[in-house]
C-alpha cells in the first residue's frame, strides 16, 4: 500500500522515462578564403626570373672564363683554330695576317708560269701560312689566292700550275715571307691541291716539319695531298674577296 498523499506533494511519475535528447547540431560557416594578392604573386615571379638570370650569368661566366691559364707554346701555331673541315688549321704565329701583292710574276718561279703571269698579269695575290698535325707530325700549309683579270686567264693559270716542271706561285716559305728552321720551301714532298673558280685560282702546298719527314716520299705525299685539299676552304680567310669573282 502506497504512502498517503500530502498537500503540496507532487505525484510520482510512474510512467516510462523518456531519454534526454542531445542538443541539435549547429553547423558553423567557414570564413571565406581571402582572394590572392596579385601584386605579391607578380613580385615573386619577378624575383624568380631575376634569380634564374643571375644563375645563368654565373654559369656563362664560369664556362667562358674558367680557364685563365696561359696556353702552352706550340712552336708554330696560333691559338685560333679554323672550324669545320677534316683537319684543324691554325695560322702560323709568325704570320697572323695574310700577305698581299699585286705583281704575281715577281712572286712566282718557273719560266712557263712567270711568262704567263707577265703576259696576263694578275689583279692580286694573297698568301698565308697555316699549321696542322697528323699523328703528332707537324705540317705547314701555304694557301695562295691568285685573282686574275678574266676567267679565261684564271683557267690558263690553273691548267699550267697543275702540270709538272712548269713552276708555280711561290709559297710564303720559298718567297722568304716566313722563316722556318730546316725548311726553304713547301714542295719537297709534293703536297699539293688547286681549285679554279671564276677569276680566282687557289693554290695550296704542304710539307712536314723537317723532323717529321720520313724516307718514304710517296707515303708522305699521300698524307699531305688530303691536307692540302682540305685547306682550300681557308681561301675565304686568306682573301676576304674569295668566292666573289
> pLDDT value at position 240?
83
Query: Residue 37 pLDDT more than 90?
Result: no
Task: State CA 102 to chain mean position distance.
Answer: 33
Q: 90 versus 37: which is more confidently predicted? A: 90
Q: In the predicted model, what is the mean pLDDT of residues 158-178?
A: 96
Bridge-based pairing of strands 99-101 and 122-134 is antiparallel
DSSP state of 84: S
Helix (H) or strand (E) holding 202: strand 200-208
DSSP state of 161: H
Give the count of beta carbons closer than 10 Å to the beta carbon of residue 199: 20
Q: 13 versus 130: which is more confidently predicted? A: 130
The confidence band for 241, taking pLDDT boundaries of 50, 70 and 90, is confident
Question: For the whole prediction, is pTM greater than 0.85?
Answer: no
Q: Give tens-digit pLDDT for 92-101.
A: 999 999 999 9
DSSP state of 162: T
Q: In the predicted model, what is the mean pLDDT of residues 25-53?
A: 59
Query: Residue 237 pLDDT more than 90?
Result: yes
Helix (H) or strand (E) holding 137: strand 137-148
Query: Residue 238 pLDDT more than 70?
Result: yes
Q: Which residue has the cell 716559305?
A: 173
> pLDDT value at position 231?
97
> pLDDT value at position 66?
43
d(CA 245, CA 153): 13
The confidence band for 17, taking pLDDT boundaries of 50, 70 and 90, is low
d(CA 8, CA 114): 154
> pLDDT value at position 84?
76
Q: In the predicted model, what is the mean pLDDT of residues 167-186?
A: 95
Average per-residue pLDDT in the chain?
81
Q: 225 versus 68: which is more confidently predicted? A: 225
d(CA 177, CA 95): 8
Q: Give tens-digit pLDDT for 103-128.
A: 999 999 999 999 999 999 999 999 99
Q: Give tens-digit pLDDT for 66-91.
A: 443 333 434 455 545 656 789 999 99
Q: In the predicted model, what is the mean pLDDT of residues 36-63?
A: 59
Amino acid at each position: 500500500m502506497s504512502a498517503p498523499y500530502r498537500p503540496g506533494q507532487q505525484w510520482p511519475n510512474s510512467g516510462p522515462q523518456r531519454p534526454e535528447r542531445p542538443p541539435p547540431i549547429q553547423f558553423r560557416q567557414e570564413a571565406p578564403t581571402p582572394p590572392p594578392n596579385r601584386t605579391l604573386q607578380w613580385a615573386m615571379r619577378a624575383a624568380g626570373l631575376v634569380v634564374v638570370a643571375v644563375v645563368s650569368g654565373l654559369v656563362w661566366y664560369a664556362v667562358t672564363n674558367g680557364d685563365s691559364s696561359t696556353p702552352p707554346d706550340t712552336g708554330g701555331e696560333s691559338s685560333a683554330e679554323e672550324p669545320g673541315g677534316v683537319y684543324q688549321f691554325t695560322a702560323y704565329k709568325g704570320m697572323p695576317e695574310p700577305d698581299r701583292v699585286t705583281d704575281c710574276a715577281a712572286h712566282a718561279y718557273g719560266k712557263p708560269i712567270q711568262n704567263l703571269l707577265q703576259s696576263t698579269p694578275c689583279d692580286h695575290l694573297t698568301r698565308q701560312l697555316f699549321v696542322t698535325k697528323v699523328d703528332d707530325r707537324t705540317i705547314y700549309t701555304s694557301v695562295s689566292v691568285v685573282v686574275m683579270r678574266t676567267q679565261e686567264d684564271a683557267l690558263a693559270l690553273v691548267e699550267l700550275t697543275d702540270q709538272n716542271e712548269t713552276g708555280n706561285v711561290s709559297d710564303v716559305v720559298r718567297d722568304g715571307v716566313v722563316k722556318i728552321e730546316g725548311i726553304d720551301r713547301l714542295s719537297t714532298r709534293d703536297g699539293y691541291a688547286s681549285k679554279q673558280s671564276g677569276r680566282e685560282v687557289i693554290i695550296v702546298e704542304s710539307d712536314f716539319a723537317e723532323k717529321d719527314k720520313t724516307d718514304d716520299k710517296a707515303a708522305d705525299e699521300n698524307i699531305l695531298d688530303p691536307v692540302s685539299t682540305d685547306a682550300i676552304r681557308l681561301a675565304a680567310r686568306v682573301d676576304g674577296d674569295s668566292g666573289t669573282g
